[in-house]
Amino acid sequence: MIVDRQGRRFRNLRISLTAACNYACTYCVPDGKRLVAAQDELSAEALIRGVAYLIEAAGIERLRITGGEPLVSPKLEPFMRAVGTLGLSDISLTTNGQLLTRKLPLLLEAGIRRLNVSLDTLDAEAFRHIARGGDLATVLDGLEQARAAGLKIKLNMVPLRGKNLDQVLPLLDYCLERGFELRFIELMRMGHLARDPSAFNQQFVGMGELLELIGERYVYQQAEAPLDATALRYEIPEGGFFGVIANESVPFCRTCSRLRLSSTGWLHGCLSSSNRHYIGDLLDKPRHQALPALQRLLVRALADKQDLAFSGGVTVMKIIGG
Residues near ligand SAM (CB under 6 A): 21, 27-28, 66-67, 69, 94-96, 118, 156, 158, 185, 187-188, 190, 193, 317-318, 321-322
Q: How far is the CB of 40 from ligand SAM (least distance, A)?
A: 19
C-alpha count within 13 angstroms, C-beta hemisphere, residue 317: 23
What φ, ψ does residue 50 adopt, rounded to 5°?
-60, -45
Contact 236, 19 (CB under 8 A): no
Q: How many Cα neighbours within 13 Å face the side chain of 199?
A: 13
Closest by Cα among 185, 55, 217 to 120: 185
Nearer to ligand SAM, 10 or 27 (CB): 27
Cβ proximity to ligand SAM, 118 vs 262, nearer residue: 118
Question: Whole-number minimum distance, CB 236 to ligand SAM, in Å?
Answer: 22
Which residue, 95 or 272, is less far from ligand SAM as judged by CB?
Answer: 95
Residue number with CB closer to ligand SAM (24 or 282): 24
In 8-157, which ranges are continuous DSSP H helix?
Answer: 44-58, 76-83, 100-109, 124-131, 136-148
In sequence order, what are the beta bridge partners of 223?
233
Of 53 and 204, the one with the shorter C-beta distance to ligand SAM is 204
For the bound state, the minimum distance from the C-beta of residue 290 to ligand SAM, rounded and expressed in Å, comes to 27
Closer CB to ligand SAM, 94 or 230, in the complex: 94
Minimum Å gap between C-beta 318 and ligand SAM is 6
Q: How far is the CB of 4 from ligand SAM (least distance, A)?
A: 25
Cα 63 from Cα 24, distance rounded (Å): 25
What pairing do the DSSP bridges indicate for beta strands 62-66 and 90-95?
parallel
Distance CA 103, CA 94 (A): 13
Least Cβ distance, residue 293 to ligand SAM (angstroms): 29
CB 64 within 8 A of CB 6: no
The residues facing 221 across adjacent strands are 235
For the bound state, the minimum distance from the C-beta of residue 295 to ligand SAM, rounded and expressed in Å, comes to: 28
For 115, the 3-state DSSP assignment is strand
Closest residue to ligand SAM, judged by C-beta, is: 322
| Cα–Cα nearest to 136, from 89, 184, 171 | 171
Question: Angle 124-131/136-148 helices, nearest 10 degrees?
Answer: 100
Q: By C-beta, is 118 or 264 nearer to ligand SAM?
A: 118
